[in-house]
Amino acid sequence: MKTWVFTSKAAYMQRVQDYVRTGHCMYVQGVIATAKVPAFAEKMTTLHPVFDNKLKAFRAREKGEATGRLMFWLPHSDSENVHWILLIHPAKDDPAHPEKAKLDPSEKWKNAFHRDEKIELTGYELVRQTKENAKKPVWTWRYRADRYDDLRDQLVLAIRSKRDQDVKRSLEVIWGSMGFAGSRAQAKALEKIFKDEWKRRRPGEKPPETPAGHGYLRRKADTGIFLGGVVSKASVIPARKASTKKTMPKEEIEKLVTADQIGDVEKLKNEYV
């Protein structure tokens, strides 16, 4: 069995964010050996309501059934381990308690909507935050509190002890933060701490140069490989993108549901009315 695996961390995080935003709140996640991914994917697909076809998943949810999405992320082409997450949109049997709605009791399910059960990945966590002019909180990734504290403390200590190489390394990490709204705000806060601390502790000394501003993370296409054989850089392929021609008839809309769309099919259909 060939299994699609993300090789882009940003795209993987965006898709997790997309699915949680659309109601896939119940989840389990972990790390597995790269060589075991195909067999593991087949097992999970057998045990849980995993859908690769988004149109079929949409129709199942319309009937009140649970639907799920299993995703993998390969950090490097030669990585021995792969990160995985199974996200489930619960059935409508018990909307007040989605964790009880037809989920396999053998799994240790968590609810991404709960404050103490956030989805985490490499020091980041998926959270809901209020946003100016937004009607409701939006989902974004930010550093976990302990990771943020580590970055701040390492930077401040390096400035005070005049270890300029460590200061530069800390700044590289900060400016290399993922460009999600949550982590961008934290990076800006760390930049302010850097400038204030340098001015207070080392007045008259020239601080290390830093880039201007912190970049936004644009929408990423699904980029990855199919695992089922030898993992190689040559197997990396970009996601196919849907056509947006307004002349396409409604009956062809099903062909537009591709790997990088979280699909409300009715909304897509309306674009061609």
Q: Give the residue-averaged pLDDT of 144-161.
A: 97
Q: Give the residue-averaged pLDDT of 263-272.
A: 38
Share of the chain above pLDDT 70, in %: 79
Q: Give the residue-averaged pLDDT of 52-72.
A: 90
Q: Give the residue-averaged pLDDT of 44-71.
A: 90
Residues 248, 229: contact at Cβ < 8 Å? no
Share of the chain above pLDDT 90, in %: 65
pLDDT confidence of residue 255: 38
Residue 239 has pLDDT above 50, yes or no: no
Residues 14, 239: contact at Cβ < 8 Å? no
Residue 270 has pLDDT above 60, yes or no: no
pLDDT tens-digit readout, 178-230 = 999 999 999 999 999 999 999 999 999 999 999 988 989 999 999 999 987 43
Average pLDDT score over the chain: 83
Residues 166, 158: contact at Cβ < 8 Å? yes
Determine the Cα–Cα distance for residues 75 and 200; give it in Å rounded to an integer: 39
